[in-house]
Amino acid sequence: MTTDASDILKSLESGYGLPVLSTVALRLVEMATDESVSAKELSVLIEKDPSLAVRLLKLANSAFFRSTHPATTLEQAIVRVGLARLRMMALTLSLRETFPMGKSGSIDYEKFWRNSLYVAILARYLADYAGTANPDEAFLAGLTLEIGLLIFFDLLVKDREPDGDLTVDPLGNSLAEERALFGIDHRQVGAIALEYWRFPEHIVRCQHLYGDRAMAHDAAPLAKICEMAKIFAACLLKKSADFQSLFVQAHQTFGMDAHKMNDILLHTFNQVENIAENLRLEMDRDQDLLEVMEKANSALSRISERIMAYDYRNQSEELPTFASMGEEGDTVNRTLQAVAHEIRNPLTAVGGFAKRLASSLDPASKSGRYAQVIVDEALRLEEALSEMTGHTEA
């Protein structure tokens, strides 16, 4: 049964049924865009929201800013944090506190915000790397990318929930199903909500671009960054996702090498708990790390299977090498070269991730021990690949 989409749109566009963000946050957004506004004026406004004031001071004195002198007043904190980041922080906190937590029907709010936070952090780092969008705005755009789902659920689904889980994966199918049932989808709802909350237009535009449209050559840079961040977050968090596809996507879209992608992944895991605490989100970084390491280990297992498959070509105990084949083995030679080329890149990427991760963890911890197991397996496969190609890797 469909709903009259035009009536819903008219109601939403007038603000009916939309959550109300903090008046302090909305006023702060307006003031923070005015370069003539002083830190004193901003501090007077922030004082009206104790929760925001406490978090602002905590952020200003966090390791992120690496200051030797603590900020003891709101004015000092505002100067240190900066107007752009202050505006984004106020909106982020207000958004998070507008919606409930826990689980209601097919919506798991904790899971929603966990996924959204990973998308936001990854979007920030991708924007910083690409240099095509403001990193702080990319964070907010990533955090709100699926915000319409929460409003859509509350207004249309909660009291007459359809069969099955409400999901955003795959997004295109989910949106099509929503339109078939209700005449409107949650991305349309999200765009209306962000406009109502006076979000910047280029952040609102990300709601309309997803999938191939977001990745098109002429797509807005911020939309492309958010789409990639969403894909990367799914690779990290979705159990069935292929870990090594992270590196392939990063290289194809941004020309990013495995070393830089590993940097982004490690920075993401290092920051997620601190940011989650500021947003009053429960996060289990160690569990997330273990799940990602399990994906990395599975990727190495698949690489191992590909290497060992060629061990049976000559029905010998040793892997064939370039030196052992001679002229008559030219076809096999070329085959091995192609296989080695396809294997080496993912092996380097996954092995590099494990090495970087192992160096940042306590060797005695569960995560540290598991990371070392993956490192050892990566080294073993590198040796096997070198044996197969008849030379020693540098």
Tokens encoding 10: 């008219």
Peptide bond into 170 cis (omega under 30): yes
247 domain residue, yes or no? no
pLDDT at 225: 95
- Are residues 49 and 110 part of one domain? no
Q: How many domains in the chain?
A: 3
- Are residues 311 and 228 part of one domain? no
pLDDT at 336: 56
pLDDT at 194: 87
- Are residues 212 and 134 part of one domain? yes
- Are residues 133 and 52 part of one domain? no
- Are residues 113 and 44 part of one domain? no
* pTM, rounded to two decimals: 0.79
pLDDT at 128: 92
- Are residues 381 and 308 part of one domain? yes
pLDDT at 164: 45
pLDDT tens per residue across span 144-160: 999 998 888 887 776 66
pLDDT at 142: 93
| 356-381 burial code (b ≥16 CB/10 A, e <16) | bbbeebeeeeebeebbbebbebbeeb
Whole-angstrom distance, CA of residue 171 vs CA of residue 194 = 19
276 domain residue, yes or no? no
Phi-psi region of 209 (alpha: psi -120 to 50; beta: other; left: phi over 0): beta
357 domain residue, yes or no? yes
Tokens encoding 183: 């005449």
pLDDT at 297: 86
394 domain residue, yes or no? no
pLDDT at 1: 39
- Are residues 10 and 156 part of one domain? yes
- Are residues 8 and 142 part of one domain? yes
116 domain residue, yes or no? yes
Picking from 59, 83, 107, the residue at the C-terminal end of a domain is 83
Per-residue pLDDT of the chain (394 residues; tens, 9 = 90+): 345 566 666 777 666 667 677 777 777 767 766 677 788 888 888 888 887 788 788 878 876 676 778 888 888 888 888 877 777 777 777 777 777 777 766 678 888 888 998 999 999 999 999 898 988 889 889 989 999 988 888 877 766 655 444 555 678 888 998 888 888 899 999 998 888 887 888 999 999 999 889 998 889 999 999 999 999 998 888 877 788 888 888 888 888 888 899 889 988 888 887 777 766 677 778 888 888 888 888 888 888 887 776 654 444 445 444 455 444 445 555 555 665 666 777 888 888 888 888 888 888 888 888 889 889 988 888 887 777 666 434 3
- Are residues 163 and 67 part of one domain? no
323 domain residue, yes or no? yes
Query: Is residue 245 within a helix (H) or strand (E), and if so which, with residue range?
Result: helix 245-254
Its domain, for residue 53, covers 20-83
- Are residues 214 and 105 part of one domain? yes
pLDDT at 313: 45
265 domain residue, yes or no? no
Q: How big is the CA angle at 86 (ends 85 and 90), to the nearest 5 degrees?
A: 115
- Are residues 35 and 70 part of one domain? yes
- Are residues 213 and 306 part of one domain? no
CATH number of domain containing 7: 1.10.3210.10
Tokens encoding 59: 């952020």
250 domain residue, yes or no? no
